[in-house]
Chain A
Amino acid sequence: MTPLVGQVEIRDRSEGGGCVAENGAFCFDWAVDNFDRYVTPILEHLVLVTASVAAGFALAFALALLSHRRRWLVPPLIAGTGILYTIPSVAFFVLLLPITGRGTITAIIALTAYNLQIIYRNIVAGLANVPAGSRDAGRGMGMTPGQLLRRVELPLAVPEVVAGVRIATVSTVAIATLAFLAGAGGLGEQIYSQLDFKTNIVLAGGLCIVMAIAFDLLLQLAQRLLTPWEPAQIRRRHAAGADDVLAAPA
Chain B
Amino acid sequence: MTPPVGFLGAFGDAVEFIFNPQATRFTGGREVGGLDQVWDLTVTHLEVSGVALGIALVLALPLGVVLGHAGRGEAFAISVGNSVRGVPELALIAFVAAFIGFGFGNVAIALMVLGVAPILTNSYVGVRQVDRDAVEAARGMGMGDLQIITRIELPLAVPTIMTGVRTGAINIIATASIAPLAGVLTLGDFILARNVYGDDGVLAGAILIALLAMTVEFSLAGLQRWLTPRGIKLARERAAA
Chains A and B come from one and the same complex: yes
Quick one: which of A95, A177, A247 contacts B167, CB cutoff 8 A? Answer: A247
From 189 to 228 in chain A, residues with beta carbon under 8 angstroms from any chain B beta carbon are: 191-192, 195-198, 201-202, 204-205, 208-209, 212-213, 216
Tell me if B142 is interfacial: C-beta within 8 Å of chain A. Answer: no
Quick one: which of B79, B85, B192 contacts A248, CB cutoff 8 A? Answer: B85
A97 CA to B14 CA, complexed, in Å: 13
Task: Evaluate contact between A201 and B95: CB separation under 8 angstroms.
Answer: yes
Quick one: which of B75, B97, B173, B194 contacts A250, CB cutoff 8 A? Answer: B173
Tell me if A94 is interfacial: C-beta within 8 Å of chain B. Answer: yes
Task: Evaluate contact between B173 and A88: CB separation under 8 angstroms.
Answer: yes
The proximity string for B residues 98-140 relative to A, scoring 1 for CB distances below 8 Å and 0 otherwise, is 1100000000000000000010011001000000000000000
A247 CA to B117 CA, complexed, in Å: 11
A201 CA to B125 CA, complexed, in Å: 34
The proximity string for A residues 155-186 relative to B, scoring 1 for CB distances below 8 Å and 0 otherwise, is 00000000000010011011101100100000
Interface band, chain A: 35 or more
Main secondary structure of the interface of B (DSSP, over half): helix
The proximity string for B residues 79-107 relative to A, scoring 1 for CB distances below 8 Å and 0 otherwise, is 10110011111111011011100000000
Task: Evaluate contact between B86 and A95: CB separation under 8 angstroms.
Answer: no
Closest residue on chain B to residue A90 by CB atoms: B177
The proximity string for B residues 227-241 relative to A, scoring 1 for CB distances below 8 Å and 0 otherwise, is 000000000000010
A232 to chain B, nearest CB (A): 16
Task: Evaluate contact between B163 and A97: CB separation under 8 angstroms.
Answer: no
A89 CA to B173 CA, complexed, in Å: 11
Closest residue on chain B to residue A250 by CB atoms: B174
A171 CA to B117 CA, complexed, in Å: 14
From 146 to 170 in chain B, residues with beta carbon under 8 angstroms from any chain A beta carbon are: 160, 163-164, 166-167, 170
A99 CA to B173 CA, complexed, in Å: 24
Task: Evaluate contact between A205 and B91: CB separation under 8 angstroms.
Answer: yes
B139 to chain A, nearest CB (A): 25
A100 CA to B1 CA, complexed, in Å: 10
B83 to chain A, nearest CB (A): 9
Q: Which residues of A contact B88 (CB under 8 A)?
A: 173-175, 177, 187-188, 191, 205, 208-209
Q: Which residues of B contact A97 (CB under 8 A)?
A: 2, 202-203
Tell me if A47 is interfacial: C-beta within 8 Å of chain B. Answer: no
Interface segment, one of A28-36, A51-59, A237-245: A237-245
A33 CA to B2 CA, complexed, in Å: 38
Task: Evaluate contact between B171 and A248: CB separation under 8 angstroms.
Answer: yes
Q: Which residues of B contact A187 (CB under 8 A)?
A: 88
A87 CA to B99 CA, complexed, in Å: 29
Q: Which residues of A contact B95 (CB under 8 A)?
A: 201-202, 205
Task: Evaluate contact between B210 and A92: CB separation under 8 angstroms.
Answer: yes
Once A25-B99, A91-B213, A97-B2 are accepted as A-B contacts, the answer to whether A245 and B85 lie under 8 Å apart by CB is no
Q: Which residues of A contact B (CB under 8 A)?
A: 4-7, 23, 25, 75, 85-95, 97-102, 167, 170-171, 173-175, 177-178, 181, 187-188, 191-192, 195-198, 201-202, 204-205, 208-209, 212-213, 216, 240-242, 245-248, 250
**In the complex, given contacts A6-B195, A170-B86, A177-B88, what are 11 additional A-B residue pairs having Cβ atoms less than 8 angstroms apart?**
A88-B210, A90-B177, A99-B7, A173-B88, A187-B88, A191-B88, A201-B98, A205-B95, A248-B167, A250-B89, A250-B170
Listed from nearest, the 4 A-B pairs whose CB atoms lie closest are: A205-B91, A88-B174, A250-B174, A98-B7
